Structure 1
Amino acid sequence: MKAFTYERPATVQEAAKIVAERPNAKFIAGGTNLLDLMKLQVETPATLVDVNRLPLSQVEDTAEGGLRIGALVRNSDLAAHPRVRKDYAVLSRALLAGASGQLRNKATTAGNLLQRTRCFYFYDTSMPCNKREPGSGCAAIGGYNRIMAVLGASDQCIATNPSDMNVAMRALDATVETINPDGQTRSIAMADFHRLPGDTPQIETDLKKGELITAVTLPKPVEGTHIYRKVRDRASYAFATVSIAAVIASEGNGRVGSARLAFGGLAHKPWRVAAAEEALVRTGSADTAADAVLKGARGYGANDFKIPLTRRTLRAVVAQATRA
């Protein structure tokens, strides 16, 4: 690990200003991802800005009937929160499916949003990676790509977003709140927060330099059965091969009244397709919905299996919801 400067600002605006003004500065909270990357010298920040003491750890009801989750709320606390368990169960289940108890006790809501890919080649500094070193190439294309994307990828990068929480947040239509060094705030729809790789895979989110996440807001709850199904290589402490966060309202006899479907393990961002949800409501057919989700899907050899696996997983989710 390389030497770095450590700062502990007193306000959110001060934190944002330090990161905006100093070259190669990073925010740190739980550090469950960043510290690993620093040890491997994938990330080599010159300054770490510790935001743990900022007043961003509250979970509060909103006037609209939703929930506002502070950026520093720990994953374990969020999963156990009474309102999350009651009204946003898909989020609680997704959080509990991630990592380990020890990591969930440290990891934060904002940190989970910003979690970086687990691509083998991104972590291996001896290999080319356009995300780590733009222009160097993508070793995963033509390499061992079992965990890589089948949707939304590009010739520059086929990595996936590793977060379970992000998939549930996308299904729930979450909004990310931020503040910049000038004190200006903005709200970013979860649909727009993460970027597809395109020609700039090193740019992963819509955040600007120095912009600090302060909270995530959920709209009022929607009716339906909340399901988070995660297919992985082992029962715990593993990233999703394919995952689905679903809120499905059943009308009985296999009919679907409404559906929200977000997919993990398939793309550079949580994947949600409105046409798939509409198809499921219209036809009740998981296969018809899967056709819409998988439109344009492409495997790269070792990950070809993700395409039929997504279809089978969606069938299981719909069957569970419609018999509940």
Structure 2
Amino acid sequence: MNIDASLLRQAAQAAAGGQQYPAATLYLVATPIGNLADLSLRAIHLLGLVDALACEDTRQGGGLLRHLGLHKPLIAVHQHNEREGSAAVIARLAAGERVAYASDAGTPAISDPGAVLVQQVVAAGYRVLPLPGPSAAATVLSVAGDVAATSFAFSGFLPTKAGERRTALQALLAVEGQSQVVFEAPHRIIELIALLAELAPERRVTVGRELTKQFESIHTAEAGTLPAWLAADAQRQRGEFVLVLHARAPQAAADDDLPAEALRVLALLAAELPLKQAVALAAQVTGAPRNRLYDAGLKLKRGGDE
């Protein structure tokens, strides 16, 4: 990307320079998951301000700095040396320096190194401040359109062993009312899609591939249709994948699961009051779940109208 780095830094200074950036602090910097234009002005300003950059891969971190026309000491902090790397960061914080940490892409410590570093820095008595930004999990959730979900869970990469993978996926699929976000590598995507189609063919799944990059694709469909969709174009099997397993709808409970007394009280109240008020009072009197009482009340009303 051809940019005037000095103009970019000036814009970052104008946008973010008014905030305080205390010394002796570790800053966790979210970096683009594929598109460099997603780097925030605040992150650019902070990277120009810090005394050193700790990073998962010094080649990636160095490349990001060069893109911005910056030169900083680099500290390798990755999954194989995170405790040792943390010591180097803490030594700089002890000298009153500002240090940034960036993983290869996205937000540190979310399926990336960073959690151990944060733990060690806090234990040593220093501050850790976040600079929010790109996250593959949040990106794909925003376009999934999972209206049945009331929450979400992030599981990262599933186990690679077949038996453990099946067990883990069955557990995710069994959860009600919750979107499940998982990552997958290109050499395992066919296997994962086939397993989803076997275990939950009617479950809707959003498949995000190469998010924010030039050839990104986002496809939402029932799991049973995905093996054929994936096989129809070899390009669909390439790149990094983020999937949303749409929420499983709560199983409808039968009216006879409600205590007879709760149904009797509901029927008496519903005969005299609007349904919502009758349900609220019945729930207070009997302790029965309000959603189950409401479903039973709808059936009572429909029966009375016939």
| TM-score bracket for this pair, using the shorter chain length | under 0.3
More helix by share: 2
Q: Normalised by the size of structure 1, how large is the TM-score?
A: 0.23
- Structure with higher Rg: it is 2
Query: Greater RCO between the two (CA within 8 Å, min separation 6)?
Result: 1
